[in-house]
Structure formats: structure tokens, C-alpha cells
Amino acid sequence: MLSFYPGPSKVHPEALGFIQEAFSNGVVSINHRSERFEVLLKDTLQILHEKWNIPQDYTLYFISSATEAWEIVAQSLIKEKSLHLYNGAFGKKWAHYTQQIIPNAHSSEFGLNEDLKSVAPTLSTKDFDTICLVQSETSNGTGQTICRSDFDLKEDAIIAVDATSTMGGINLPWLEADVWFASVQKCIGIPAGLGVLICSPKALERAAQLNKKVHYNDVLLMEENRKLFQTHYTPNVLSIYVLNKLAHLLPNLAVIDQQTWEKASILTDFFSNANSFHLSFLIENPLLRLPTVFALQGETEQIKRLQHLCLKNNIELGKGYGKWKDNTIRIANFPSHTLEDFSQLINLINA
């Protein structure tokens, strides 16, 4: 089955060999306080920094998921007032869960065809100590440009960004935010069960200032462990191993970024022209469409017919999310998806 679901999605085919290797060399059974693990973690952090062009003073942590990252931001980093800006289901959920922890978490929903640059000046962003943004809103396929100067902020305010369906697939402007996170089963292309959290020195300063340390996954405890090349709990060592091997194998993110946009433009060209399923883009403004998740809308009957045709041909498309469940489909364009995969899909739709 070829999966274009925007997560869990197609896994890099090479992952299978790495998983087998981890069994045969015993990595699947190593202790996370052992020297062997420390060597693996150190190398993984190093290769990800290098291949993803992450600033040296930003630190990387392995957690269980993007959902856990929402909670970590709320529990270790928000001082007392956060502002959540979103236009889709994931941003909304993040705001909702934060409100259970931070009574002063505010949220503001904006339109599908609006960008942060025009939304930010309409809000009194200076009142907040933490701004929570969704760079890749997987539910509707919108992508935002993250830029600090779009926001009028207090000196010590931090920005946290959910980049779950773009991290590992496009260049991200790391310096424009203090916290970035993603789960691995989307753009990163390995089986679910691991999350990546990246923090700026300013985010660590915030954690130190709040000095909470009341949760096992407090940023400060994660940082204490990272310094020893360990983790704050027994992590998904198998996934860290697979991620390590893939990071060594794949080219620099700048190259992957180009490939992602090239594949995206093929898909955009195809769906911009008439197709037998009468699909059109859910997001009208091309600049706000994610290159990694295409959301296409159509009549419910056509959507059903297309889903059915694909399943019959061993291809899985993403269903619509939430209120777009019946009248949209989503197609992932992650680094694991090849030009051949898209030819197969396009040929099938054209047939």
C-alpha cells in the first residue's frame, strides 16, 4: 500500500533495513544510561544539527510526540499568559489543552486565506509572554511563514511553533522562533512513537527562570540529561537509531527542500488543471498552501469515488479532517514520496 496520508504516512523504504540492523546489532535492547546509547544520542544530535542546519546554540530533545510538546510548552515555558493563533484543528487543540494548564491562555482564530503577517498587527501581542503558532496546519493544508518581526513583542517573549508536517521536508527559519517541534510519522518518514523538540537559548532561559521541574518532562530536566547524552526517560531507542541512520543517508535539508518544492509544483500544476474528479484547492491563496500537505476539495460523491479508486489500486489518500471530512482529501508530499509515487497517482486519476 502506497500511503499519501499526511501522517502516519509512507515510511522511508530504507527504514526496514535499519530496523533489522538494530535487531541484529542489539541496539533494540540497550539501556538509555549506557555508553552505547550516549554515543548514539550524541551522534544523532550532531547529524541532525548538521543536516537540518539547526543553529549550534539551539538544543534538540527527543520526546514522545508533538502532542507532548504542546504540554511541555505549557508546563515548562509559558510564564502566565500565552497567545495561540490558529486557523485549523491542530492549533485549536493546542490552545484547548494549554487552557487546562494555563488559565490565562488566550486564543484567536483567523481565516483560511489569512497570513500571520496581516493577523499579528490586529492583536495586542505585547500582552503575552509566549506566542504559540502552527507553521504547518496539517488539517487544512495551510502553511505560515514564521517571522519574529511580524509581532510586536515584550523583550523576553518567546515564540513556540508546531511544524509537525514540515520538519525534515523544508527549510525552517529556526532563528525566527524559540521552540520548534514535530512528530516523526509525518514529514520525517519513520513509524510513529517519537517527537523532536528544538529549543533556543532564550527558551532555556525561560525554563530556568520559571524553574518548575515538577514534571518528568520539564525542559530543565531534559536539558540536564542531554548534557550527559542521555534522556529523561527510556526513549524510543529504535526510532532514534532509524532517524540517525536516515539523517546520515539523506542529503542536507536545503537539497530536500528543493525536491519538496519541485514535487509540490508538479502536484500544483496537475490539480490546477481540470481533472475528472473536479477537485480544486481548499486554500485559494497559493502562498498559504503547504508544499507538504495538499488539501483538495470536491463534491462528496467525487471524493468518495476517488478514495475508492485509489484504495482499489493500493493507494491511500488522506481523508479530510474535522469539518472538511466529507468534501476534501489530503495528499502528503513528504521526502519519502518519490516522483514515481506521484506519477502513479496522477496516472491513476487521469486514467
Ligand X SMILES: *Cc1c(COP(=O)(O)O)cnc(C)c1O
| Residues of this chain that bind ligand X (CB under 6 A) | 7, 65-67, 90, 134, 136, 138, 162, 164-165, 183, 186
Closer by beta carbon to ligand X, 30 or else 239: 239
Burial group, residue 216, by CB count within 10 angstroms (0-12, 13-18, 19+): exposed
8 A C-beta contact, residue 188 and residue 196:
yes
Give the E-state strand segments of the chain in sequence order: 2-3, 59-63, 82-86, 105-109, 130-134, 136-137, 142-143, 158-162, 179-183, 195-199, 280-281, 293-297, 315-316, 318-319, 328-332
Least separation in angstroms between CB 28 and ligand X: 21
Task: Kindly list the distances between the CA atom of residue 23 and the CA atoms of 18, 19, 179, 231, 240, in Å, as whole numbers in the listed order.
Answer: 9, 7, 33, 21, 14
| Minimal distance, residue 333 CB to ligand X, in Å | 14
Residue 312: CB minimum distance to ligand X, A: 27
**Among candidates 9, 3, 21, which has minimal Cα distance to 244?**
21
Please identify, using beta-carbon distances, which residue of 138 and 260 lies nearer to ligand X: 138
Indicate the residue among 30 and 182 with the shorter CB distance to ligand X: 182
Nearer to ligand X, 9 or 30 (CB): 9
Closest distance of CB 133 from ligand X, Å: 11
Amino acid residing at 94: W
Cβ closer to ligand X: 7 or 298?
7
**What gap in Å lies between CA 65 and CA 185, rounded to an integer?**
9
| In the complex, minimum distance from the CB of residue 321 to ligand X, in angstroms, rounded to a whole number | 9
Tell the smallest beta-carbon distance from residue 167 to ligand X (Å).
10
Q: Which is nearer to ligand X, 165 or 244 (CB)?
A: 165
C-beta of 310: minimal distance to ligand X in Å?
A: 21
Question: Residues of 258-267 as b/e, b for ≥16 C-beta within 10 angstroms?
Answer: ebbbebbeeb
For ligand X, the closer CB: 30 or 82: 82
How many whole angstroms separate alpha carbon 184 and alpha carbon 187? 7
Minimum gap (Å) between residue 134 Cβ and ligand X: 6
Per DSSP, the residues of 294-345 read EEEE--HHHHHHHHHHHHHTTEEPEEP-GGGTTTEEEEE--TT--HHHHHHH
Cell numbers for 38, please give them.
Answer: 550516549
Q: For residues 170 and 131, what is the distance between their CA atoms, to the nearest angstrom? A: 22
**How many whole angstroms separate alpha carbon 318 and alpha carbon 9?**
9
Indicate the Cα dihedral angle 46, 49, 53, 54, nearest 10°: -150
CB nearer to ligand X: give 21 or 114: 114
- Beta carbon nearer to ligand X, 71 or 257: 71
Q: Give the C-alpha separation, 317 to 306, whole Å.
A: 9
Q: Please report how close the Cβ of residue 105 comes to ligand X at its closest, in angstroms.
A: 17
